C-alpha cells in the first residue's frame, strides 16, 4: 500500500503537501522523476513498436562483481526495438542517493535531451519513456559526483545500437584504468622478505619432517580407533 501511495504521488495522481510538480519534474521527500513520457511519440515514430518492462537496481552490492568499483547497476546493457516504450522500475538498494539518467534523447520531447529518476535513499520509482527510431546507443548513468566514475554506468541500445560506449563495466575498456600502485618503503620490503623467508622455512620444515609427521598422525588415528573399539 505504501509503495502504491508513493507511486501515485510521484505520478501526480494524488496531491501531497510535500509533493511538487513543476516543469516536467515530479518530486517529493523520497525522490524525483524528470521528463517522463508515456504517450507522446517521437517525430520519427508512427506507433509504439513494443512495451518493455525493465527493473534496474542500483547500489554498492552490484559493484562486487567488478574489481575496483564501488557503485553499479545490476545490469549494464539493454537493447530495445526502435520506437519502443520502456517502463522502468528503478530500485535503490542503498541508503544513499542514486540516480538513473538517460542522455541524448530528442530535446523537443525530453527537455535537455534527458530522462531522469532519482532516489535519495532506499526505495523505488516507476516511469516510462518512448525511444526514437534511430539506431543508437544511449548513455545511462548516475550523475551524483564520482558515482559514474566509480562504476554506475550502463548503455541502452536501440536496434542494436551504434557501438559500445567507453568504460561500461564488464563490456568496454575504460578510458583511463584505475591503478593501485604499491608504496614500496623499506618497511614494506622488509615485511615482504620476512613473509617469503617464513614461507620457505615452513615448507622446508614440513618436507624434511614429512615422514615423522605422517607417523605421528598414523599413531594418533590408531589410538583413536582403539579407544572407540574399547568403548
Give the model's pLDDT for residue 15. Answer: 44
Give the model's pLDDT for residue 9. Answer: 46
User: Does any domain span residue 171?
Assistant: no
User: Does any domain span residue 173?
Assistant: no
Give the model's pLDDT for residue 18. Answer: 54
Residue 136 belongs to a domain with what CATH number?
2.60.40.420
User: Does any domain span residue 20?
Assistant: yes
Domain of residue 124 covers 2-158
- The count of structural domains within the chain is 2
Give the model's pLDDT for residue 219. Answer: 75
Give the model's pLDDT for residue 4. Answer: 41
d(CA 41, CA 168): 29
User: Does any domain span residue 176?
Assistant: no
Give the model's pLDDT for residue 8. Answer: 45
Residues 139, 198, single domain; the answer is no
d(CA 105, CA 115): 8
Residues 128, 40, single domain; the answer is yes
User: Does any domain span residue 75?
Assistant: yes
User: Does any domain span residue 181?
Assistant: no
User: Does any domain span residue 179?
Assistant: no
Q: Which three cell numbers stand for residue 193?
A: 622478505
Q: Between helices 210-230 and 186-208, what is the axis angle to 10°? A: 60
Residues 129, 79, single domain; the answer is yes
- pTM exceeds 0.85: no
Give the model's pLDDT for residue 1. Answer: 42
Note down pLDDT in tens along the chain; length 231 residues.
444 444 544 444 444 445 666 667 898 899 999 999 999 999 999 999 999 999 999 999 999 999 889 999 999 999 999 999 999 999 999 999 999 999 999 999 999 999 999 999 999 999 999 999 999 999 999 999 899 999 999 999 999 999 999 999 999 988 777 676 777 888 888 888 999 999 898 888 877 777 766 777 777 777 777 777 666
User: Does any domain span residue 170?
Assistant: no
Residues 191, 151, single domain; the answer is no
Amino acid at each position: 500500500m505504501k509503495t502504491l501511495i508513493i507511486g501515485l504521488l510521484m505520478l501526480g495522481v494524488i496531491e501531497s503537501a510535500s509533493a511538487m510538480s513543476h516543469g516536467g519534474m515530479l518530486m517529493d521527500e523520497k525522490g524525483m522523476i524528470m521528463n517522463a513520457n508515456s504517450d507522446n511519440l517521437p517525430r520519427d515514430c508512427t506507433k509504439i513498436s513494443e512495451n518493455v518492462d525493465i527493473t534496474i537496481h542500483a547500489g554498492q552490492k552490484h559493484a562486487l562483481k567488478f574489481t575496483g568499483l564501488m557503485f553499479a547497476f545490476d545490469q549494464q546493457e539493454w537493447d530495445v526495438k526502435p520506437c519502443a516504450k520502456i517502463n522502468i522500475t528503478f530500485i535503490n538498494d542503498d541508503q544513499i542517493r542514486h540516480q538513473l539518467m538517460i542522455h541524448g534523447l530528442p530535446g523537443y520531447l525530453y527537455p535537455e535531451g534527458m530522462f531522469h529518476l532519482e532516489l535519495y535513499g532506499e526505495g523505488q520509482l516507476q516511469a516510462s519513456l518512448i525511444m526514437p527510431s534511430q539506431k543508437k546507443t544511449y548513455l545511462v548513468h548516475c550523475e551524483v559526483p564520482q558515482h559514474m566514475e566509480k562504476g554506475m554506468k550502463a548503455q541502452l541500445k536501440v536496434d542494436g545500437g551504434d557501438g559500445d560506449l567507453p568504460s561500461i563495466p564488464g563490456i568496454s575498456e575504460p578510458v583511463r584504468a584505475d591503478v593501485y600502485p604499491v608504496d614500496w618503503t623499506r618497511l614494506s620490503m622488509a615485511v615482504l622478505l620476512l613473509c617469503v623467508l617464513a614461507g620457505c622455512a615452513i615448507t622446508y620444515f614440513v618436507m624434511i619432517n614429512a615422514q615423522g609427521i605422517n607417523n605421528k598422525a598414523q599413531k594418533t588415528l590408531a589410538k583413536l580407533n582403539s579407544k572407540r573399539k574399547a568403548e
